[in-house]
Amino acid sequence: MTDPCRRFRDLLHGSICHTAGSVFDPLSARLAEQAGFEIGIFAGSTASLTVLGAPDLVVLSHTELADQARRICRASQLPILVDADAGYGNALNVMRTIEDLIVAGIAAASIEDTLLPTAFGAPKSTELISLEEGIGKMRAAVDARKTSAFSILARTSAPNISSFEDAIQRLQAYEATGVDGLFVVGLKTSAQLHALFSATKLPLVLANPPLDVGDDNELAQHRVRLCIRGHQPIMAALEALRQTYLAQRSGQPLPALISAAHLASITKAADYENYKAAFLQADKATAE
């Protein structure tokens, strides 16, 4: 099997629009891989939930993000895109974040131009940093990776925060920094998709595009190579936990549980049995 970084890059520069599987821990990554996803995404929001049990307010540190990413990558060969928020500080912090995520084994990272965390006295709950600072962060991310195999995506939510025109200006500027793809949040219409396609050259990643923007074939024709369609898996897992705890506490029948066979599959139980036989049992010939 090829290196996850190479596989992510090949998919990014392919001709198909893929859907990313939202993962948050080692077992979820293995389940997504078994389900047939070619790419996984580990988001800052799900990292905050799994590591801290906290909402998505960027109270998580970049080292906590990288530690959980390392656990995920150790357990799975699925190429993982990490949503690294705004890099956890200024451009120098972006460099450290990228360096630590590469060591963790991920295939790609996105850096966004949102002002995070929210500044004291900010007039809006979500604001953008200046274009100049955004360019500096993207350049720093590209410089920090040290290998062309690792992919950097420049992310903006400008369509939701400022304007679509501002988004185009930012994305064109980020293209010139050497990033590998453009990650857009807030695209609303097929006309915007066509304008984005015409105004840029790099592969595109979209977050939750409306259904009327186009199906996967149309998205692919407009250079969209990856769609992020939300983080429902962790929400489903939390609801299953809630229901199971309530039923167990009250003595009610439990909801459907994973089968022993599926659990053995995702924990690679057969591999561990082989390890036990190979390394924990004395060789008969040697013992005699």
> 168: how many CB neighbours lie within 10 A of its CB?
20
- Judge contact between 25 and 50, C-beta under 8 A: yes
Mean pLDDT across 261-276: 96
- Read off the pLDDT of residues 19-54 as tens digits, 9 standing for 90 and up: 999 999 999 999 999 999 999 999 999 999 999 999
Same domain? 200 vs 281: no
Name the pLDDT band for 287 (thresholds 50, 70, 90). Answer: low
Cβ burial, residue 272 (10 Å; 0-12/13-18/19+) = exposed
Amino acid (1-letter code) at residue 208: N
- Judge contact between 110 and 122, C-beta under 8 A: no
Same domain? 261 vs 189: no
Secondary structure class of 207 (helix, strand, coil): strand
- Read off the pLDDT of residues 200-244 as tens digits, 9 standing for 90 and up: 999 999 999 998 898 999 999 999 999 999 999 999 999 999 999
Q: What percent of the chain has pLDDT over 70?
A: 98
- Read off the pLDDT of residues 163-182 as tens digits, 9 standing for 90 and up: 999 999 999 999 999 999 99
Among 232, 253, 268, residue at a domain's last position: 232
- pLDDT of 261 over the 90 cut: yes
Name the pLDDT band for 125 (thresholds 50, 70, 90). Answer: confident
- Judge contact between 51 and 265, C-beta under 8 A: no
- Read off the pLDDT of residues 60-72 as tens digits, 9 standing for 90 and up: 999 999 999 999 9
Among 210, 232, 254, residue at a domain's last position: 232
pTM (2 d.p.) = 0.94
Same domain? 181 vs 258: no
Among 232, 261, 276, residue at a domain's last position: 232
Distance of CA 91 to the CA centre of its chain: 20
What pLDDT is recorded for position 33? 97
Same domain? 142 vs 85: yes
Same domain? 220 vs 274: no
Same domain? 202 vs 74: yes
Structural domain containing residue 273: 238-287
Instruction: Specify the CATH number for the domain of residue 12.
Output: 3.20.20.60
Same domain? 181 vs 251: no
Same domain? 60 vs 177: yes
Same domain? 130 vs 43: yes
Encode 171-183 in three state secondary structure: HHHHHCCCCCEEE
> Going by C-beta distance under 8 Å and a sequence separation of 6 or more, which residues neighbour residue 30?
75, 76, 266
Count of the separate structural domains present in the chain: 2
Dist CA 150 CA 155 (whole Å): 16
Mean pLDDT across 80-96: 98
Same domain? 101 vs 27: yes
Same domain? 126 vs 253: no
Same domain? 127 vs 209: yes
